[in-house]
A and B are shown apart, each in its own frame.
Chain A
Amino acid sequence: MYAQLVKSEGLKSREDMSPEERDFQDRVDNGEKIEPKDWMPEGYRKTLIRQIGQHAHSEIVGQLPEGNWITRAPTLERKAILLAKVQDEAGHGLYLYSAAETLGVSRDELLEKLHSGKMKYSSIFNYPTLNWADIGAVGWLVDGAAIMNQVPLQRTSFGPYSRAMIRICKEESFHQRQGYAIMMKMAAGTPEQKDMAQDALNRFWFPSLMMFGPSDKDSVHSAQSMAWKIKMNTNDELRQKFVNETVPQADYLGLKVPDDKLAWNEDKQGYDFSEPDWSEFFEVIKGNGPCNRERLNARVKAWDDGAWFREGLNAYADKAADRRKAAAVAAE
Chain B
Amino acid sequence: MSKKEWPLWEVFIRGQHGLNHRHVGSLHAPDAEMAINHARDVYTRRREGVSIWVVPSKDITASSPSEKGPLFDPAESKTYRHPTFFDIPDEVGKM
Are A and B interaction partners? Answer: yes
Measuring CB to CB, which residues of chain A are less than 8 angstroms from any residue of chain B? 32-33, 35-38, 77, 80-81, 84, 88, 91, 94-95, 98, 101, 106-108, 144, 159-160, 162-164, 166-167, 170-171, 173-174, 176-178, 180-181, 184, 245, 248-249, 252, 307, 310-311, 313-314, 316-317, 320-321
Question: Which residues of the partner chain A approach B51 to less than 8 Å between Cβ atoms?
Answer: none
Counting from the closest, the 6 A-B pairs by CB-CB distance are A35-B65, A317-B30, A317-B31, A177-B86, A163-B69, A173-B83
Check B1–A101 contact: CB distance below 8 A: no
| Contact A159/B31 with A81-B80, A174-B85 known, Cβ cut-off 8 Å | no
Q: Which residues of A contact B28 (CB under 8 A)?
A: 107
Interface centre among B42, B81, B85 (most CB of A within 10 A): B81
- For the complex, would chain B's binding face be called helix, strand, loop or mixed by DSSP majority? loop
B1-16 interface bits toward A, Cβ cutoff 8 Å, 1 = contact, 0 = none = 1111110100000000
Judge if B49 is at the interface, Cβ distance under 8 Å: no
We find that the number of chain B residues with CB closer than 8 angstroms to chain A is 38
B→A interface (CB under 8 Å): 1-6, 8, 25-28, 30-31, 34, 42, 62, 64-66, 68-69, 71, 73, 78, 80-83, 85-89, 91-95
Q: List 27 A-B contacts (CB under 8 A).
A: A35-B65, A37-B65, A84-B78, A95-B25, A101-B8, A101-B26, A106-B5, A107-B5, A107-B28, A159-B65, A159-B69, A162-B69, A167-B25, A167-B71, A173-B83, A174-B85, A174-B86, A176-B95, A177-B95, A181-B87, A245-B94, A310-B6, A311-B1, A313-B34, A314-B6, A317-B34, A320-B31
User: How far apart are the CA atoms of A317 and B8 in the complex, in Å?
Assistant: 14
Asked if B66 and A180 sit within 8 Å, CB to CB, the answer is no
